[in-house]
Structure 1
Amino acid sequence: MLLYTVSLCVLTMVAAQDGGVVSYEGYQLLRVYPSTAQQLGTLMDLVRRRRYEGLVSLWSQQLFASRTSANNRTEQSADLLSAPQVLEDLVEQLDANGISYDVLIHNLEEAIQSENPPIDPENDELESRGGHRLTWRRYHRYKDIDSYIEYLAITYPDICQTEVIGKSSQGRDLKLLKVSTGGDGNKPAIWIDGGLHAREWISPATVTYIMLQLVEFRDLHPELIDSVDWYIMPVANPDGYEYSHSTDRLWRKTRSGAKANKRWGKRTCYGVDPNRNWDFHWGEDRSSSSDACTDDFRGPKAFSEPETKAMADFILTRKDQIKIYLTLHSYSQMWLVPWGYKNDKPKGYYDMYILAEKGVEALEAVRGTDYLLGTAAELLYTASGASDDWAKGVAGIKYSYTIELPDTGSHGFVLPAHEIEPVGQETWAAVKAITRHFTDARVP
Structure 2
Amino acid sequence: RMGIGHEVVIEDVQKYVDDHMAEVLRLRGGDAQSFYDTYRDRAEIETLMNQLVAAYPGIAIQSQIGTSVEGKPIKLMRLSGPDQPGNPRSGRPIILINGCQHAREWIALMTTVFFMDRLAEEYGMNARITALMDRVEFYIVPIVNPDGYDYTWTPNNRLWRKNRRPPPTGSTCWGIDLNRNWSFQWGLNSGSSGDPCSDTYRGTAGLSEPEIAAMAALIDSIAPRLRGHLDMHSSAQKFLSPWGYTTSPPPPDLPLMDTLGARMRDAITPFRNKVYEYGQGSVILYLNSGNARDYTYGMHQRLSWTWESPTATGGFAPAASEIRPTCNEGLDGLLALADYHAYPVRLALPGNAPAVVAPNTATDVAVTISNLWGTASPGSSRLYWRFGPSGPFTQATMAHLGGADYRATLPAAPCGTEIQYYLEATTTAGGTVRLPEGAPGRIFSATAMNSQSLWSDSCESATGWSLSLGTDTATAGRWENSAPSATPAQPGSDVTPAPGTRCFVTDGRTSTNFGNYDVDGGTTTLTSPAFNAAPPSGFADSDVYVAYHRWASNNRGSLPDTNPLVVQLSNNGGSTYTTIETVTENTLSWVRRQVRVSDFMTPTSTMRLRVIARDDTGAIVEAAVDEVSAFAMGCPTPACPGDWNGDGVVDFNDLLDFLNDFNAGAPRADVNGDGVVDFNDFLEFLNMYNTPC
Q: Same fold (TM over 0.5)?
A: yes
- Residue number in structure 1 paired with 2:70: 170
Identity %: 33
Q: 1:236 to 1:122 in 2, by over 3 A?
A: closer
Distance verdict in 2 for CA 1:122–1:270, change over 3 Å: closer
- 1:130 maps to what in 2? none
1:223 to 128, 131, 136: 131
The question of whether the paired residues in 2 share the 8 Å contact of 1:261 and 1:292 is answered with no
> Is contact 1:327–1:402 with CA below 8 Å preserved after alignment?
yes
Matches of residues 180-199 of structure 1 in structure 2 within 5 Å?
A: 180-181=80-81, 182=83, 183-199=88-104
SS where residue 364 of structure 1 aligns? Answer: helix
Aligned residue identity for 1:440:
Y
1:243 matched to 2:151? The reply is: yes
Cα distance in 2 for partners of 1:411, 1:122 equals: 22
Equivalent residue, structure 1, for 2:181: 277
CA-CA distance at 1:123 after TM superposition: 3.4
Question: Offset of 1:355 from its aligned partner?
Answer: 1.3
- Structure with a larger share of its residues in strand: 2
Residue 118 (structure 1) aligns with: 25
- Structure 2 distance, partners of 1:120, 1:430, is 28
Q: Is the 8 A contact 1:114 1:416 kept in 2?
A: no
Query: CA, structure 1 residues 261+353, in 2 after alignment: closer, same or farther (shift >3 Å)?
Result: same
Counterpart residue identity of residue 189, structure 1? I
Could you tell me which residue of structure 1 aligns to residue 228 of structure 2?
Answer: 324
Shift of residue 138, structure 1, vs aligned partner: 0.8
User: Do the aligned residues in 2 keep the contact of 1:261 with 1:293 (CA within 8 Å)?
Assistant: no
Conserved in 1, the CA contact under 8 Å of 2:136 and 2:341?
no
Distance 1:118 1:300 in 2: 37
Specify the code of the residue in structure 2 equivalent to 1:173: P
Superposition deviation, residue 250 in structure 1:
1.2
Q: How does 1:14-93 map to 2 (within 5 A)?
A: 92-93=1-2
Within the candidate set 193, 205, 212, 1:301 is matched to: 205
Distance 1:422 1:114 in 2: 21
Q: Read off the aligned partner of 1:152 and give its amino acid letter.
A: L
Q: How many residues align?
A: 335
Specify which structure has the higher proportion of helix.
Answer: 1
Aligned to 2:5: 100
Residue 261 of structure 1 contacts residue 269 of structure 1 at CA under 8 Å; is this kept in 2? no
Q: Deviations over 1:404-435 (max 9, x none)?
A: 11215x32111111100000011100001111
* 3-state SS in 1 of match to 2:206: coil
Instruction: Report the equivalent of 1:403.
Output: 307
**Larger CA Rg, structure 1 vs 2:** 2
C-alpha distance in 1, partners of 2:188/2:208? 16
- Within-5 A mapping of 1:351-390: 351-390=256-295
Query: For the structure 1 residues 291 and 121, does the alpha-carbon distance in structure 2 shift closer, same or farther, using more than 3 Å as the test?
Result: closer
Question: Taking structure 2 as the reference length, what is the TM-score of the superposition?
Answer: 0.47
Superposed displacement of residue 206, structure 1: 0.5
Q: Distance in 2 between matches of 1:237 and 1:122?
A: 25
1:439 corresponds to? 342
Contact 2:176 2:202 in 1 (8 A): yes
1:184 positional shift: 4.8
1:121–1:159 distance in 2 versus 1, CA, 3 Å: closer
Whether the 8 Å contact between 2:182 and 2:212 is mirrored in structure 1 is yes
1:258 aligns with 2:167: yes
**Which string of whole-angstrom CA distances, capped at 9 and with x for unpartnered residues, describes residues 50-103 of structure 1?**
xxxxxxxxxxxxxxxxxxxxxxxxxxxxxxxxxxxxxxxxxx23x2xxx20000
Summarize deviations over 1:89-133 as a string: whole Å, max 9, x none: xxx23x2xxx20000111112221232433458737x98xxxxxx
**Which amino acid in the other structure matches residue 145 of structure 2?**
N
Checking the alignment, whether the CA contact within 8 Å between 1:260 and 1:269 is kept in structure 2 is no
SS of the equivalent of 1:223 reads helix
Structure 1 stretches lacking a partner, 5+ long: 1-91, 128-133, 263-267
- The equivalent position to 2:329 in structure 1, one of 423, 426, 429, is 426
2:299 pairs with 1:391: no
Partner deviation per Cα, 1:359-410 (whole Å, 9 max, x = no partner): 110011111102111111111111110000101001321x2011111215x3
Q: Distance in 1 between matches of 2:119 and 2:176?
A: 32
